Chains A and B, each alone.
Chain A
Amino acid sequence: MTNKTLSSVQRQKKIVEILNFLHEGGDFDEAKKMFDDSFSSVDVSEITSAERELIASGLNPMEIQNLCNVHAAVFKGSITGNESTPAFEKPGHPVATMKLENVVLSSLINDELLPCLKKWQQDGDNDQYLARMQKALKDLMTIDKHYTRKENSIFPLMDKYGITAPPKVMWGVDDEIRGWIKDAYDMVMADPVPDKYEVEAAIEKACKETMEMIFKEEEIMIPMLDEVATPEDWYMVEQDEKDMGYTLIPDPLPWKPTNKEIAEGKKKKNPEIANELNKMAQGLADSEGLKAKDTKKKSSKKHIPIVDVTPSLHEDDEPVADSDAADSSEKKMSAHERIRRRSQHEKTGLEMPTDEINVRFDSGRLNLDELTAIFKVLPVDLTFVDATDHVKWFSNSPDRVFPRTKAVIGRAVVNCHPPKSVDKVLEILKEFHDGTSDSNEFWINLHGEKYVYIRYYALRDDDGEYLGCLEVTQDVQHIRDLEGEKRLL
C-alpha cells in the first residue's frame, strides 16, 4: 500500500491510528514502521488535521500536546529516509526529555526574559515589561525540577560508572544557579524594584549561567554518559524520573528500549574512557581512605554485606596497573554484567514464596508481604545507609517528602547530597561511626507548605557494632496544627 492508493480520509485515519498507538505506549519503532508502510511522506497539514480529529474524538488538549513531541520525530524520519531513530531522540527517552526542556528554557530566556529586560530598561514606566519579567523568572524557577531529576536519576548513573567528580562539581553549580534565579526573581518582585542596573546584572547573570549549564549538560554530560550507559540504565532513569516532574513541558510519552537496543547495549564494548574513569574513581576511593576503612570493618568478627555499587570501588582485588585494551575491555564487560545482575537482583525479593518466609522478631513474626505493606504506610520516610556509608534501602512510600530514586541504592552517601550540605552529613556519620553520638535532628520550614522534621539514628547491634544510619523524614505540619482532641470514645 502506498500513499497513492490512500484517499485523504484514509490517510488521516491511519495517522490517527498511529498517534493513538503511540499514545497508548506503543513502541516507537513499530509506529515508525506503520508510518513507513503507509506513507512515503506526510504533509504538516495532515498531521494537524489528525490532531484536530483526536481532540474532537475526546482526547484532551493536554494529551495532544504530548503527541506533538512525536510528530517531529516521525516527520524527521520521513524526510531523512528510513534510518532508525537514535534512542536519544526518541520521545520520552530521558535525554530527549532533557533536551526538550532545554529548548523551552533557552526560548524562555532568549525570546522572552532578555528582550523584556531590554525593553523595560528603555521604557521604565511601562509596567507591562516588568510583569512579563516577573512571570518569566517565575517560570525559570521551575528549572528546579529539571535539576532535581538530573541530580537524583542521572548523577547516580554517572556515579555507578565511576564518574564521580563531574556530578559533584555540577551539583554545586546547579545550586548556584537556583540561587541566582531566586535573587533575580526577588529583585523584580521587590517594591520598589531596585536600581535598573542591579536588576540587569542579576538577570543577565542568571541567564548566562543557565545557558552555560544547558551547554554543559548537552555537550559534556550526555556524551560522557553515552560512553558508558546501557539502554537498561536509561530505562531505569525513565522509570525513576516520573515522580519528580518536568520543567515547562507536559509529561513525556512513556519510553522503553527496544529489544534490539538492549541487545546492542549488551554488546557495548568497553570504551577506553570508561576504563580510565574507573581507574580514576579507584584512585579517588583510595585517596579518600574508603578502602582502608572497609577492610578494617570487614576484619571484625561480623560480616556486613556490602552492596556492590560503583564497580571500581569494589575491584580492590584486581590489579590497578595499566592493562592492555583487550584486558580492560573484558574487565569493563564484567562490570556491566555485574551491574545488570545487580538491577535484576533488586527485583528478586519477589521470587521467594512470600507466604512462607517469615522474619522472626523477638516481638512477633511478619511475612514479607506484611513487612512491605507496613513500610508503605508508615507515616515517615525511611532511608538506610549501611556501615560503609552506602545507601542500602529506602521505604518506598508514595508521598515522600524528598524524592528517592532506585538509582540511589548502592551510592556512596557523600555523592547523594548537594556539596553545600555534604560536610554536615559526613560529620554526623563520623560521630555515629566513632560512637560519640547516636542521633541528630533537623527541622526545615519548606515554603510554609511543609514542616519537615528529619532525624538520624545510629543503628547498632547488641554488641554495639555500628550497622548504619537510619534517616527518618516526616512532614509534621499536620501534627503541629493539631489542637484540642479527637477521641475514639
Chain B
Amino acid sequence: MSEKVIDFEVPIHTLASQYPDFVDIMYSIGFTKIKVPGMINTVGKIINLKKGSKAMGIPLDKIAQAFEERGYELKNYDK
C-alpha cells in the first residue's frame, strides 16, 4: 500500500481525486466552500494548499496538523 502524502504545492483537485477523505478534512478545517458543486473542478485546479491557506486566511500549520493527525505525510510544507 502506497503512503499517503499531502503535497502543499499540488493543485487540490489532484489531492481530492487521490484521497477520498481529503474534501471532508478540508471542510472540517474551515474550507467550507470546497463542497460547493463546481468549486473543486474549477478553483481546485488553480490552487494548492499554500495558496488556499492565504486565500481563506486559514493558517498552514492548522492544515498540516489536521492531515498529520489522519496519518498523512506532508510534502513541500515548510513552516
Q: Are A215 and B55 in contact (CB under 8 A)?
A: yes
Is B75's CB within 8 Å of the partner chain A? no
* Nearest CB of A to B27, in Å: 14
The winner among B33, B38, B39, B51 for most chain A CB atoms within 10 A is B38
B42 touches A166 (CB 8 A): yes
Residue contact A219 to B41, C-beta cutoff 8 Å: no
B residues near A277, Cβ cutoff 8 Å: 41-42
Contact B42 A224 (CB under 8 A): yes
Q: Give the complex CA separation of A169 and B38 in angstroms.
A: 10
Categorize the interface residue count of chain A.
20 to 34
Counting CB contacts under 8 A, is B29 at the interface? no
Determine if B51 and A220 form an interchain contact, defined as CB atoms under 8 angstroms apart: yes
User: Does B55 lie within 8 Å of A219, measured CB to CB?
Assistant: yes
The answer to whether A163 has its CB under 8 Å from any CB of chain B is: yes
- The reply to whether the CB of B66 lies closer than 8 angstroms to some CB of chain A is no
**Chain A residues in 8 Å Cβ range of B1:** none
B45 located at the interface, meaning its Cβ lies under 8 Å from any Cβ of chain A in the complex: yes
Mark interface residues in A208-227 (1 if CB within 8 Å of B CB, else 0): 11001001100110011000
Instruction: Please provide the chain A residues from 258 to 287 with a CB less than 8 Å away from any CB of chain B in the complex.
Output: 273, 276-277, 280-281, 284, 287
Q: Would B38 and A166 count as touching, CB distance under 8 A?
A: yes
Does B56 lie at the interface of the complex (its beta carbon under 8 Å from any beta carbon of A)?
A: yes
Nearest chain B CB to A114 CB, angstrom units: 15
A452 to chain B, nearest CB (A): 31
Contact yes or no, A164 B38, CB < 8 A: yes
| B71 in contact (CB, < 8 A) | no
Assembly CA distance A165 to B38 (angstroms) = 5
Residues of A within 8 A of B39 (CB): 165-166, 169
- A214's closest neighbor in chain B, by CB? B55
Q: Residue B38 contacts which of A216, A273, A284 (CB distance < 8 angstroms)?
A: A284
Q: Does B54 contact A (CB under 8 A)?
A: yes
Q: Are B37 and A219 in contact, CB atoms less than 8 angstroms apart?
A: no
Residue B43 lies at the interface, judged by CB distance under 8 Å to chain A: yes
Residues of B close to A169: CB separation below 8 A = 33, 36, 39
- Partner of A273 from the list B36, B45, B54, B55 (CB cut-off 8 Å) is B45
At the interface, yes or no: B47 with Cβ under 8 Å from chain A? Answer: yes
Q: Which of chain A's residues has its CB closest to B45's CB?
A: A273
Interface string of A276-309 (1 = CB under 8 A from B): 1100110010010000000000000000000000
Assess whether B25 is interfacial by the CB under 8 Å rule. no
- Total cross-chain contacts (CB, 8 A): 52
* Residues of B16-66 contacting chain A, CB below 8 A: 33, 36-39, 41-43, 45-47, 51, 54-57
Please tell me if the beta carbons of A220 and B46 are within 8 angstroms of each other in the complex: yes
B46 to chain A, nearest CB (A): 5
Q: Report chain B residues within 8 Å CB of A281.
A: 38
Complex CA distance for A203 and B55, rounded to whole angstroms: 19
Contacts of A212 in B (CB 8 A): 54-57
Please measure, in the bound complex, the distance between the C-alpha atom of A276 and the C-alpha atom of B36, giving whole angstroms. Answer: 16
Q: Which residues of A contact B51 (CB under 8 A)?
A: 215, 219-220
Q: Determine whether the beta carbon of A220 is less than 8 Å from that of B54.
A: no
**Residue of B33, B41, B42, B51 ringed by the most chain A CB atoms within 10 A:** B42
- CB <8 Å contact, A163 and B55: no
Which residue of the partner chain, among A168, A216, A280, A287, contacts B55 with CB atoms under 8 Å? A216
Q: Are A220 and B43 in contact, with the CB atoms below 8 A?
A: yes
Tell me the smallest distance from the CB of B40 to a CB of chain A, in Å. 9
Give chain B's interface residues, CB within 8 Å of chain A.
33, 36-39, 41-43, 45-47, 51, 54-57
List the interface of chain A (C-beta within 8 A of B): 163-166, 168-169, 208-209, 212, 215-216, 219-220, 223-224, 273, 276-277, 280-281, 284, 287
Can you pick out 30 interface pairs between chain A and chain B where the beta carbons lie within 8 Å of each other? A163-B42, A164-B38, A165-B36, A165-B42, A166-B43, A168-B36, A169-B36, A169-B39, A208-B57, A212-B54, A212-B57, A215-B54, A215-B55, A216-B55, A219-B51, A219-B55, A220-B46, A220-B51, A223-B46, A224-B42, A273-B45, A276-B41, A276-B45, A277-B41, A280-B38, A280-B41, A280-B42, A284-B37, A284-B38, A287-B37
The 7 closest A-B pairs by CB, nearest first: A165-B38, A280-B41, A216-B55, A166-B43, A165-B39, A215-B55, A224-B46
19 further interface pairs, Cβ-Cβ under 8 Å (given A165-B37, A165-B43, A276-B45): A165-B38, A165-B42, A166-B38, A166-B39, A166-B42, A166-B43, A169-B39, A208-B57, A209-B57, A212-B57, A215-B51, A215-B54, A219-B55, A220-B46, A273-B45, A276-B41, A277-B42, A280-B41, A280-B42
